[in-house]
Amino acid sequence: MSEVWVRRDKTVEWPTLGLVVLCYGLFAVGTTWAAALWVPLGMGLTILALALHSSLSHEVLHGHPFRSKIVSEALVFPALGLFIPYVRFRDTHLAHHLDSILTDPYDDPESNYFDPAVWQALPRWRRALHEVNNTLLGRLLVGPALGQVAFMHKDWQAIRMGDRQVLKGWLLHLPALALVALWLISVAQMPLWAYLLSAYAALSILKIRTFLEHQAHERARGRTVIIEDRGPLSWIFLNNNLHVVHHMHPRMPWYRLPRLFAENRARYLSRNEGYYFPSYATVFRRYFWHRKDPLPHPLWPKR
């Protein structure tokens, strides 16, 4: 059993279970009654449900809300977001949690940095596209498409090389997609184009969270951000804006992170070398039109 699933207690995490019920409720209402009443209203509720479903999937892969891995994963088995197989999300994200490799262009599966030599070899149009993606506006507009293409290309290469775990992740994705397709065909009153657009928009919202979760830094402890926000985005992200707290305590449930941060605020700000933003509003003001940092890893020659 993976260490992430070792739980010392036998209690059910009811706040997480309650959010699961809310998530599927929003999904059901958004794709049926609300969509029939007014498609934009249905899309809004569906986007919220899909973004929340992704955040709940993140909770599940870290061992919540039950001790049983099978029972917990069953809660998020339907592929509401369509694009990312849960098993692949689980495996790549757990690999990402090795802090010593954070931002590494090769070893960190969630890195947005390039090996400088690879960056220089890219065609100009690709570099320009990635530069657009390096602003928050660009990340919202083209980030989901760029990320999906890169993710699928890498997985396809792994499958061709005989990686059975990657293949398993995609094969398990098929029945998870089938459940959603069955709902859309037999129950939902939302047009397919509206659902596809909602799924893309949900990924865009999630790109706000991942936009600057990590930075290139000489010390591993300085690579993970704190965004001290308590607004709707922090709720959708299940407090993962307090990202250094999550990395230090990956088994801590989402609803305990704010108190843990508040009680040890100075410690965490010291721990991550002051990589801090007071709110997502600050992030939008600073980076909506401007790039976050260089795309070629700025410390690569020294690593």
Residue 133 is predicted with a pLDDT of 97
Residue 276: strand pairing partners: 226
Residue 91 is predicted with a pLDDT of 96
pLDDT > 70? residue 255: yes
In the structure encoding, which two tokens stand for residue 42, read together? Answer: 């249905």
Other C-beta atoms closer than 10 Å to the C-beta of 42 total 25
pLDDT > 60? residue 278: yes
The answer to whether 192 and 40 are in contact (CB under 8 A) is no
- How confident is the model over 3-20, as pLDDT tens digits? 444 445 557 899 999 999
Question: 97-116 b/e with 16+ CB inside 10 Å = b?
Answer: bebebbbbbeebbebbbbeb
Q: Given pLDDT bands bounded at 50, 70 and 90, which one contains residue 302?
A: low
In the structure encoding, which two tokens stand for residue 67, read together? Answer: 């001790």
Structural Rg of the chain based on CA atoms:
19
- How confident is the model over 203-213, as pLDDT tens digits? 999 999 999 99
Q: What percent of the chain shows pLDDT beyond 70?
A: 96
